[in-house]
Structure 1
Amino acid sequence: MIKLEPFTPADFPQLIDWINDERLMKEWSGSLFSFPLTKDALSWYIEGANDLKDPDVFVYKAVDSKTGGVIGHISLGSISQRDRSGRITRVLVGEACERGRGYCTGMIRALLRIGFEDLKLHRISLGVYDFNKAAIKCYLKAGFKQEGVLRDVVRHGEDYWSLVEMGILEDEWHQLTHKSEPRAA
């Protein structure tokens, strides 16, 4: 099981170690950061984060509750209280050897629980590059629906990357979570 805990300056070195090449940086952060990732950039990134009184962005480390080890990073931002919406960004299972083991789905489900239960959001969206088939599979498994493709939105070297837009609504999430709960006798 995955639990999400606030991402703090003590977590900076591990994330910097995980983001060890320019392509991974761009896949993880789009144009928010430049390579190499620095402590100063991360300090700016978490400034004002994780404030329930003024929810704008929540930045988390993902912890394997069995081992206590930090296995990833995830954030929920672009929160609009008026529209009751937010956007999942910067999803990363840190160590390559840990990918494909269900951690991403656990991270997404934990963040959806926060978004829909704690923050009372109606809609949560995300964008994923179309070549990231493992991530798309993870998001579909967590209940997201594909809503469209933004073609050639990012240039990396000589290549252009297209972005798959995905979203999930609160009633879809509630149906998924209640379907998996046992019925009372």
Structure 2
Amino acid sequence: MSNQIIKLKLLEKQDLQKIIDWNVDKSADDLMQWAGPKFNYPLTLKQLENYFLSEVFIEKVFVYKILLTSTDEMIGTIEIREIDETNKIGKICRFLIGEKNNRGNHIGTAALNEILKIGFKDMNFKKITLGVFDFNYSAIRCYEKVGFVKESLSKNIRKVSNAYWNLYEMSILKPEF
């Protein structure tokens, strides 16, 4: 899948170190915001390798690397998981634009449009969902820009650094895309 700015390809084991590099100077809160409780701080290559062995290669989890079309440089990741084949629903998780200089350049919007094409056209989903912490305003704006709507707010869903975080569940239906 590709468009003018980025293209998506399935993430491979040799790409995992790049994710570690993006997270070297990040806090435990940053890791929680991006990955939820899936990984422990600090993020290690072993954790990512175990994730691939236990989930990506066994379950229906599709992790894509986001590549700049012009250079093939890997600049982020995005995944589809929690696939409900009966109801034709998938969930976007662990969406990360690695370097700050790649944020705010419509790359996030382009990546979302590409993953939605995969979900709605290739996987034939009727609905795609995601969760986002309520203070992540830039992500919420990006999601709304491509058509996601807020469905619900779960208050105090996650305790992080002595504070409780709220989470919006958002979704988009195939006809809305």
TM-score normalised to structure 2 length: 0.91
Match of 1:23 in 2: 29
Match of 1:144 in 2: 148
In 2: Cα distance, 1:66 partner to 1:164 partner? 34
CA RMSD of aligned residues (A): 1.5
> In percent, how many aligned pairs have the same letter?
36
Match of 2:9 in 1: 5
Structure of higher RCO (CA pairs closer than 8 Å, 6+ residues apart): 2
Of 151-160 and 116-125, more deviation after overlay is shown by 151-160
Match of 1:94 in 2: 98
C-alpha distance after superposition, 1:84-114 (max 9, x if no partner): 1010000110001211111111111110000
Superposed, which structure 2 residues align to 1:35-184 within 5 Å? 35-47=41-53, 49=56, 56-173=60-177
- Contact 1:46-1:59 at 8 Å conserved across structures: no
Change in Cα spacing, 1:5 to 1:44, as seen in structure 2 (3 Å) is same
User: How many residues of Structure 1 are paired with residues of Structure 2 in the alignment?
Assistant: 170
Of 15-24 and 160-169, more deviation after overlay is shown by 15-24
1:30 aligned counterpart, secondary structure: helix
Report the alpha carbon displacement of residue 55 of structure 1 after superposing the two structures with TM.
Answer: 7.1
In 1: Cα distance, 2:33 partner to 2:109 partner? 18
1:37 aligned counterpart, secondary structure: coil
Equivalent position amino acid for 1:42 in 2:
L
1:100 aligned counterpart, secondary structure: coil
Of 116-125 and 16-25, more deviation after overlay is shown by 16-25
- Contact 2:132-2:169 at 8 Å conserved across structures: yes
**Where does the alignment leave 5 or more consecutive residues of structure 2 unmatched?**
none
**Where does the alignment leave 5 or more consecutive residues of structure 1 unmatched?**
174-185
In 1: Cα distance, 2:102 partner to 2:96 partner? 11
1:165 aligned counterpart, secondary structure: strand
Question: Which of the two has higher C-alpha Rg?
Answer: 1
- Contact 1:55-1:79 at 8 Å conserved across structures: no
TM-score normalised to structure 1 length: 0.87
